[in-house]
Structure 1
Amino acid sequence: MRSSNRPYMASVDQLRAYAVLLVIFFHGTQIFGTWIAHDRPFQFGEDWLYSTNPAATVIFEGHTGVTLFMVLSGFIFAVGTIGKDVSYPRFMANRLLRIYPLFMVIVLIALAANPGAFGFLPFLQTVLGLGNLPGALVLGDISSGALWAVAVEMQFYLLFPLLNKLLTRFGLPTFLRLFAAIAVIRALVWFVTTVPNPDSILYYNLVGRIDQFLIGMIAAWLYLRYADHFRGWWKIGASAGIVVAALWAFNQVHGFFNHGWWRLVWVDVEGGMWALVVLTYVATVRATNVVARTVTKIGELSFSLYLLHLVIAGVLVNNRWWIEIPGIGAMASALVTVAALFLPVSIAVAMVTYHGIESPFLRLRVKYLIEPKVPIELQQLDRDLERATRSS
């Protein structure tokens, strides 16, 4: 829930914007770059992009924006609820109001266009938040590029009130032990599996992503107690530098397709470095200039942008609408296409869907924090004071 006494929310929205921009540039360079270079669709393994340029690798590994989203989810919920009781029904009602209106509109329209994809059990599985598992609806770019992440988020929502209670009641040590236990069990399963699949175990599944949500909650705990320690523009620069260096190294070893055991550690490294960015950025940034407000608005549109950007890319590709500039190469032309065409069109569409579908339902959300009960004696004292004030 957003309120005026939470000034960090603008900074959080800006981080959401950076996350969705990473994803859009990541998919855009893949899709448009392949069409410009080879005049065919992107092939997942064959056409992956690599570079020794650190700035380029941030875009080429822009799937890391999903990790930033998940760290932010843990941070946002925990920073407002640590030390407080959460009404589970109201919390889940708010989550449904946040996710389901646009989610269901997209799913139903996609099914209307592809009726052969419908099946009662796959439909039920998808709408109940298990769309990232085998047996869910297969809806082309919609399901492969976006719905899996929505499913992982929804699974985390089911667990969050309990996780928050553990962190509130027993403190950080107990929470860290839980974190370690999950990591140990996951590692055991990894090493007992003949051919472990990092995508299935770590990328598309809550059993891998849960670490990043937990890291976000730990970051919230640190922020509430030590925000001043993370404040400083140079600290933002240092944390961003860590992200760039780590993504460069990941790209050099072809990390997305590398099945080495170190992928078990990368889940936490990636989550931890983004948590450091979140901590330093939220503790430091309070900008209200035009650029900051624009980035904040993009962050507000991030859910629509995330769910719809691959559909928009498909429309552009089907009509062969991209920008090819002779002499600069396919990847440079792809970047121009993303910045000058793909991104502006995506933002324009997202503004329509946000204000037409998301915003009205967001206004229906209710407070989900349980107010502490006031003893009857204090309630009577409050009433007596109120009457005395009126009579005076």
Structure 2
Amino acid sequence: MTSSEEDIRDGLPAITPGSAKRSRIAGLDGIRGVAALFVMVHHCWLLSFPGYPATTGPGWLGWLVYGHFAVVVFIVLSGFSLAASPARTAWQLGGVRRFARRRAWRILPPYWAALVFSLVIAWTLVPQPGEGAPTAKSVAVYGLLLQDLFGAPSPNGAFWSIAVEAQLYLVFPLLLLILRRAGAAVMLAVVIVIVTAIGLLAPGVPLVGMLMRLTPQFAVLFAMGVVAAGVIGAEDHVRRLPWHWMALLAAVPVFAVVVAQGSVWTVGNYFWIDMALGPAVGLLLGAVATGRPAALVRLLDLRPVRSLGSFSYTLYLVHAPIVVVLFQLVVAPHLPAGLPSFLTVLVLAVPVSLLTAWSFAAVFELPFQRHRSWPALRTAARARAARMRAALRPAP
């Protein structure tokens, strides 16, 4: 869900045909923004058509049941983004302490602000569906990003994946170490073997089954993103490979199984489906990083789509309580569940969520991207305040 200078959005040079040194990789922000928007629409769908994981709405909207796949994209993209800079420097991280500080600086301010926002809404307006009002335990568990380890009433239905991603950051230096010493294939194989063993043993071994709370398949997706980032520093003959066609070939069998088996089976088997889908996402990111397919990259790099990506993390963080409030307090009292309620909450939630997320990001996300320390942030804030005072001062 996030990125940095270990992170492409924070200034990593792009790798596109004919250009090895631009400020970013065109298209990745667009993917991030589209995925966040899809998650929001998915949550509107869930409220409007009860019965999840069954699809009870119109068949032509049935694909909206799979909002989880957007999180799959986020996790692979997170590994790709974090590994993009090391990929051009022999997979060197540049210091674990520096990496940890930059990750915390990047993800925690908007997350904690969104947590306060979500708690206030849950306490004063309406809690999340199926959850009671958040408790003191909720504050502690969610504040410390331990929600996948300890149960507590959730203030925000989207927060579960943030804990998983934060835990993946802890293993990222180890993944790079294995990659440097043994190669990408060995690193990925080690992760796949461990996670597959968990998946196979979990149904019969309660202690192993507890590990499923950590969504272990996301470790495979994250590692696939790290490996896919190798295309950034690869030789030209590797970069010229038809990565986009390979992505399509990898995706078709997975989606064929999803369509054939239906949503109930698919949701019940996300552990395996996620890992099967990961290679397609990694190959797609490799394709976009090499500028292909050109039409898709241009579409993802259109200014509105790129701008959406610039605050997609905050959009992911704040949209769930907004959608719930609008549906429960505005739509549900006047419309029955179904297509009219879905379209109505969509029309309301999209602009409200985008505006709220943009405003939140302007205060709690973007300044922390631009300024890497408290002194730099304070200096920038004072300079901005001085400019505002000068603008308001009457002309002599």
TM-score by length of 1: 0.74
Kindly indicate whether the alpha-carbon contact (under 8 Å) linking 2:300 and 2:306 is maintained by their aligned counterparts in 1: no
Corresponding residue number in structure 2 for 1:177: 189
> What residue in structure 1 maps to residue 74 of structure 2?
69
CA displacement, residues 145-166 of structure 1 (integer Å, 9 cap, x when unaligned)? 1221110010011111221122
Match of residue 340 from structure 1: 347
Is the partner of 1:131 in helix, strand or coil? Answer: coil
Equivalent position of 1:97 in the other structure? 105
Contact 2:326 2:345 in 1 (8 A): no
Distance 1:51 1:109, change over 3 A: closer
Distance 1:257 1:237, change over 3 A: closer
C-alpha contact 1:57 1:248 (8 A) present in aligned 2: no
Q: Is the 8 A contact 1:61 1:251 kept in 2?
A: no
In the alignment, the residues of structure 2 paired with residue 222 and residue 58 of structure 1 have an alpha-carbon distance, to the nearest angstrom, of: 31
Mapped contact 1:71–1:271 kept (Cα < 8 A): yes
Closer/same/farther in 2, CA of residues 251 and 56 from structure 1, 3 Å limit: farther
Q: Does 1:9 align with 2:25?
A: yes
Task: Name which of 24, 30, 52 aligns with 2:46.
Answer: 30
CA apart distance, 1:186: 0.7
Residue number among 212, 217, 221 corresponding to 2:226 in the alignment: 217
Q: CA deviation at 1:294?
A: 0.9
Shift of 1:23: 1.0
After TM superposition, the structure 1 = structure 2 runs for residues 98-117 of structure 1, keeping only pairs within 5 Å, are 98-111=106-119, 114=123, 117=134
User: How far does the alpha carbon of each residue in 1:90-130 deviate from its partner, in whole angstroms, 9 at most, with x for none?
Assistant: 211111122111211232344456497443x6544433331
| Contact 2:55-2:263 within 8 A present in 1 as well | no
Indicate conservation of the 8 Å contact 1:50/1:60, yes or no: no
Q: 2:266 aligns with which of 255, 263, 272?
A: 255
Deviates more, 1:222-231 or 1:9-18: 222-231
Secondary structure class of the residue paired with 2:202: helix
Compare 173-182 and 159-168 and name the one that shifted more: 173-182
Where structure 1 has 5 or more consecutive residues not aligned to the other structure, the ranges are: 35-41, 367-392
Q: CA deviation at 1:255?
A: 1.8
TM-score by length of 2: 0.73
Letter in 2 for 1:330: G
CA-CA distance at 1:27 after TM superposition:
1.1
Rounded to whole Å, the distance in 2 between the matches of 1:213 and 1:107 is 25
Give percent identity, aligned residues only.
25
CA pair 106-184 structure 1, distance change in 2 beyond 3 A = closer
For these two proteins, the number of residue pairs brought into alignment is 339
**Deviation of the 1:4 alpha carbon:** 6.2
Residues 70-85 of structure 1: pairs in structure 2 closer than 5 A: 70-82=75-87, 83=90, 84-85=92-93
Larger Rg computed on CA atoms: 1
1:343 aligned partner, one-letter code: V
1:209 is aligned with what amino acid? F
Aligned residue for 1:49, secondary structure, equals coil
**CA-to-partner distance for each residue in 1:154-205, whole Å, 9 max, x for gaps?**
00111112211221232123213312331343134224237997xx755x52
Deviation at 1:365, TM superposition (A): 2.9
Q: Match for residue 274 of structure 1?
A: 281
Report the AA paired with residue 127 of structure 1.
Answer: G
Larger RCO: Structure 1 or Structure 2 (Cα < 8 Å, ≥ 6 residues apart)? 1
Aligned to 1:49: 55
- Cα distance, 1:324–1:289 mapped onto 2, change above 3 Å: farther
